[in-house]
Each structure stands twice: as structure tokens, then as C-alpha cells.
Structure 1
Amino acid sequence: MPSLDQALRAAFDARQQLLGELHRQGTDCYRLFHGSQEGAPGLTVDRYGPQLMVQSFHHPLDHEALRTIHQQACSFLTQPLQLIYNDRSQSNSRIDRSDAVLQPEAAALEDQIGHEWGLSYRVRARHSGQDPLLFLDLRNVRGWVKAHSAGKSVLNLFAYTCGVGLCAAAGGAREVWNVDFAERNLAVGRENGALNPQLEPMHFIHSDCFPAIRQLAGLPVSARRGRVLPHYPRLAQRPFDLVLLDPPAWARSAFGTVDLLRDYQSLLKPALLATADDGVLICCNNLAKVPMDDWRSQVLRCAEKAGRPVRDWQSLAPAEDFPSHDGLPPLKVLILRL
């Protein structure tokens, strides 16, 4: 096992060409060290614009290790970065509280702006949700959407902070809908839109994705057995030219359960039916234990049963800052042409 210093240097060296490409395209948000594949399981080092975010998932870092990471990253990028360290090795511990020396400067906790594909994004190092408001491993998907959205209607399901929708708008989409159950996520999506005033306005639908996608697909909305349906926005049936389906690994609501391991079909079928003829459905599965071959077969079978057979498909892997030695990254993406 290499030392942390050696592992960091090897990871940075491997990214030289990639980071040059990212900087030229207007991106300053990326993973600098993917510990599970680069010699330090449970450790990640990410850049988000002016910030360096270090996170430990298995055990806390000591001050010397954190200092090494910060110094090497700033030296490699030839610029100072504000340091944020989140120890997530204990339950409900996104923030390290054990050592005052490890606490960030006050300025590092302020809202920042990061960039990807030439677009500006709100970055918030610590909050109640996941990561600093932008999932880095989905960058290639956002780039694909940006390159293939001209003149299209786009539906972004489980939109989170609406990065995919923003890229669709930047790509010239004629209409963009972002659907998410959390108003705080959509609020950040609105901020992202305001940070890019050159783009056409997007639509933000505050709704559980189950009733939203089922209505758009022309399917009935039902509650769990014995439960009364809560309020949800009423939407008319209609197809979209490009649909992005990126659900969490598991979630439960009054309308149904998202379970990527056992029941991807409950979301996939209505997403297929809400995709226009000759349209594109992008499916994501971020559950590491699900093999790509098995999941792809399941997706293609579901499309056949739903009467929406796939004419063509391609997979899209994360960028090189998320290396996978076995070629099987946790995030799996299928682009389906119907």
C-alpha cells in the first residue's frame, strides 16, 4: 500500500491531461483523488471552484494528513484553495468536531460559485443534503445533454439542484422541466438559473416524482395500501423529447418506493411512456452492487414489455477523475433511443 503522499502524487499525475481539458472547457469542479481506487479507501478529495473538499468515510484524518493533502493539491493546481474537511466516518457526522485545528476558516463556509461546461453553479460546502450541491460523477451526462438538447423538450426527474436542466437550457432546449420533491433543491436550481442569466428560464415542478411521471405518462396515480393520497401538482399527459431518470438508490414516500436493486421498473415504465417517439431516455443507476450487464438486460426487457422497444443504446462512463480498475464504476448510465 503506497503512502498517502505517494498516492496523491500518482493521482495528480494521472489527471494532468484531463484537468487541462476541463480547464479549457470552463470546468473547475472535479475529483482530484478517488481513494477507493487510488490507494486510500474511504478518502475523497474534490475541487469545487475556490474550495478543496476533503472527506473521510472510514476513519478521521489527523492534522498532518489533512495538511499534506491541502498543500499538495494547492501546489499541483498552482493556486490557493479554501479547505473544507468533512469527517463522515460516524453516523450523522458530515462535519469534523473533534479538533479545532481542523475547522475551516469562516470564508470557506460562505456560498461560493463553481463552474462546469462553462456554466456557473452554486457551491455550498456544508448543508443538510449531499455534497456541495453538485454531484461530480454525473459531469459527462450533463455534458452529453448540453450537446444534444437543441430544440428539444427536456424532462429532468429527481432533478436535485437542476444541473442537467441547466445544461439542457445551455444546449438550446426549447423547454426544460425540473422535477424534485425537495423545495430546497429547486431553490438552488433557481439560483443556478440566476447565475446564468444568458439562458432561457426553466420550469421547476415541486412534486414527488412518482405522481409527476405517472401523470405525464398517462398512468393513474395511486397511494400505498390503506393510505390517503397527499396533495400533489396536477399535470397533463404529454411526452418529452429527452428524459433524464436519475433516482436515488432508495427512498419511500406515500406514492411508492424507489428501490434501484429490486424495482427499477416502477419508475422506468412511466419514464419510457413519457418519452416521445424518436426521443431519448437517459437512465442512471448508482448502486454499486448492481452489475451493468444485468441492469441493462432488465432495462431493455422493461422497454419491450412497455411497448417502447429500444432502437439503439449506448453506455456512458464517468470521466477519468472517477477511475475504476475493473471498468465497473458504481454509476451506470444508459442512453436509450426509442
Structure 2
Amino acid sequence: MTATESGFAAQAGTEQWPERLGPQAVRLFHGRGDCYPGFEFLTVDYFAPVLWVVLYKRAVPAVWESIKAQLRDTLKDHCEVAAVQHRYDRHAPLELLWGELPVSPIAREGQLAFQLTLGGRQNPGYFMDMRPARQWLAQRAQGKRILNLFAYTCAFSVAAMSAGASSVVNIDMSRSAMRQGRDNHRLNDLDGKEGTTFLGHDIFRSWGKLRRLGPYDVIICDPPSRQAGSFDAEKDYPRLVRRLSDMLAPQGSVLACLNAPYLGEAFLREVLAANAPDLEFVERLPARADFPDRDPDRALKVLHFQRCN
């Protein structure tokens, strides 16, 4: 289908977007899932009061101008701010369509709030598609000891501590991400709560410390797919998985996450089977409805495993 203004409006259902706007973070359009031919380069989110548009490749100028016109016609009376990130550019420059960005933008998820960084880096510090996984964790966090590997800005920790976890150990080699993680805890009135640990360390050099702080009832593994100097899923996931059983309590759970479109669910299941045979596959967590994907193997994969001995 040719990517025209009328084509975009028809595929995206833009006339219904105003009804979907509210205090909760929501994805209005998910082109990245290959369900909307011609618009795979585009996502549109709403973080009240900000409409957040991301371009993953440079669009044909006429197409982009028509999409911007459609956004203005449909949403300018409903959104205070509209901003575009040109993520295909390594500097990820920001373009304001209207309004001014708030000083401290946030994403709301249920009763929780997460700090956003809109502009200045590739992602905003919050991954909306992980909400089902955070809900899964919150439902079983009461009184549990959690290890949050590759914690980034600690959204899993916020969800767990808010749901009554006895402790969460967060570890990520990015100290700036750890600082934002602390800010997220403060934002949710959790900064004075005992039991939260923040480690700005290389995970692969910290196994001894992590074992001493354990064992853990739940281990979250949410690494980057491929990040220079940090993690490459094909090479590093097996050696990560080999360490899990030593730190996991009896009947403990592992939530293994992978967002590499070039590696399917079978890769993750095979890695666990070969390197942690005492962990049994339980289920794959469902994706958000507003993140449709034509091929589930290319989508975010979140798999629950449980220790069987």
C-alpha cells in the first residue's frame, strides 16, 4: 500500500486516538510490528501531556508532511505538546510540532510513575512494552527477594517494591541509569524503603557479590540485544544463564527477556535448556495489545522459567 495521508489515517485509525488519551502511557501506533505496510518506520506514544513520535528511518518528505498534517488535525486540540525524535540519526534530534516539553515529563503506569528523558539520547528511559512483565512481577512480589539484572532505570524494582517485595538488588553497568533508577524510586515514595540495593557494576564481574546478596526468589534477565562493550545476546546469553541456578532459591522463578528481532523464542528456550537444565519452561507472557506484531518471533519475548529441584 502506498504511504499516503489517507492510507495512514485508515490503517492507524487516527479518528479514534482522542478517545484513547488519558493519564496512562499508551502506544497509539506501532508501525514497528510490520502490521501496517508502508509505515514500519513510525511509532506514536502518549505520555500525558506529550504526544511522542519516533521515526526509525528518514521518511519520504511528502509522506512525512502528510502524517504531520494528520497528527495536527486529529490531536492538536487534545495534546498540549507534540514532539518527534528522529532516531535514525545517531544524534536523535528532536523536532517540536507544537507546544513545549515539560521540565520533568513522566510516564504513568497504573499507580506508578517513571521519569522520562525525551531527547538527548536514543530511548526515553522507560519501556512501555514491558508493562505485562512488571504486572507479572507485582502479582508475585509480596515478601520475595528479587534480582534485577541489567536493571537500567529500575522499573522492575519500582514495580516489585511497590508490591511488597522484601528486597530488590538492581545491577547495571550504567551508573547514569542507576541514578535515574534511584529517581524513579523517589518519584514513587520508595526512596526511604529498606531492602533496595543499587549496583553500578559489570554483571559478569560481580557474580560473587550477587551470590552473597542472594539467594533470590525471582531473577529478572532483561539485557540489551546487542550493545558494544556490554552484551551480545547470541554470545553472552548462554554464559549469563549458566550462573542463574547458583543464585536462585528452591522453586524460584526466572523471567528471561529478549528483544532481538533476529532471535526467536526457540533461541531463548534452547539456551535455558542447554545451560540451566534445572529450569523448566512455564509460559511466554502475552504482549500488550497496543504493540501488535505480525511475527511473534521478531517481537519482544518474555519467558517464565521455574526451578524444578
Scaled by the length of structure 2, what TM-score is found? 0.86
User: Residue 218 of structure 2 aligns with which residue?
Assistant: 242
Q: What corresponds to 1:103 in structure 2?
A: 96
In the TM superposition, residue 294 of structure 1 has moved relative to its aligned partner by 3.3
- Rounded Cα–Cα distance in structure 2 between residues aligned with 1:243 and 1:209: 13
Q: Superposition RMSD on alpha carbons, in Å?
A: 2.7
2:197, 2:152 → 1: CA distance? 14
1:228 equivalent in structure 2? none
Q: 1:142 aligns with which of 124, 134, 141?
A: 134
Distance 2:15 2:282 in 1: 30
Letter in 2 for 1:303: A
What is the CA-CA distance between 1:273 and the residue it aligns to?
2.2
Aligned equivalents of 1:19 and 1:173: distance in 2? 32
The equivalent of 2:69 in structure 1 is: 67
Name the CA distance, whole Å, in 2 between partners of 1:280 and 1:108. 40
- Rounded Cα–Cα distance in structure 2 between residues aligned with 1:194 and 1:210: 28
Alignment partners' CA distance in 2, 1:147 and 1:207 = 28
Give the letter for the 1:283 counterpart: A
Normalising by the residue count of structure 1, what TM-score does the alignment of the two structures yield? 0.79
Q: 1:205 to 1:321 in 2, by over 3 A?
A: same
| Distance in 2 of aligned mates of 1:191 and 1:9 | 40
The secondary structure found in structure 1 opposite 2:242 is helix
Q: Distance in 2 between matches of 1:169 and 1:212?
A: 23
C-alpha distance in 1 between matches for 2:228 and 2:31:
31
State the partner residue of 1:94.
92
For residue 284 of structure 1, report the CA deviation from its aligned partner: 0.7
Distance 1:70 1:174, change over 3 A: farther
Which string of whole-angstrom CA distances, capped at 9 and with x for unpartnered residues, describes residues 5-53 of structure 1? 443454347988x959xx6xxx621221111332301111112232111
Cα distance in structure 1, aligned partners of 2:15 and 2:254:
33
Q: Do the aligned partners of residues 203 and 215 (structure 1) sit closer, same or farther apart at CA in structure 2, a change above 3 Å counting? A: closer
Q: Distance in 2 between matches of 1:313 and 1:185?
A: 31
Please, which of 290, 299, 309 is the counterpart of residue 330 of structure 1? Answer: 299
Distance 1:177 1:126, change over 3 A: same
- 1:86 match: secondary structure: strand
Q: How far apart, in 2, do the equivalents of 1:214 and 1:264 lie? A: 19
> What displacement does 1:194 show?
1.1
The corresponding residue for 2:267 is: 294
**Equivalent residue pairs, number:** 297
- Tell me whether 293-302 or 150-159 shows the greater mean CA deviation: 293-302
- Contact 2:24–2:107 at 8 Å: present in 1 too? yes
Partner of 2:113: 120
After superposition, where does 1:305-320 map in structure 2 within 5 Å? 309-320=278-289
1:3-14 equivalences in 2 (<5 Å): 3-12=4-13
For the residue of structure 1 that corresponds to 2:243, the secondary structure is helix
Q: CA deviation at 1:64?
A: 4.1
Q: What residue number does 2:53 align with?
A: 54
Distance 1:286 1:162 in 2: 17
What is the distance in 2 between the residues matched to 1:106 and 1:203?
Answer: 39
**For 1:261, what is the secondary structure of its paired residue?**
helix
Task: Indicate the residue corresponding to 1:209 in structure 2.
Answer: 203
Contact 1:180 1:208 in 2 (8 A): yes
Judge conservation of contact 1:52–1:70 (CA < 8 Å) in 2: no
Which amino acid counterpart does residue 30 of structure 1 have in structure 2? Answer: V
**Distance across 1 between alignment mates of 2:13 and 2:70:** 13
Is this contact kept in 1: 2:31–2:42, CA < 8 A?
yes
1:275 aligns with: 248
Residue 172 of structure 1 aligns with which residue?
Answer: 164
Identity of aligned residues (%): 25
SS at match of 1:140: helix
In structure 1, distance between residues paired with 2:208 and 2:289: 36
Counterpart check, 1:196 vs 2:198: no
Deviates more, 1:156-165 or 1:322-331: 322-331
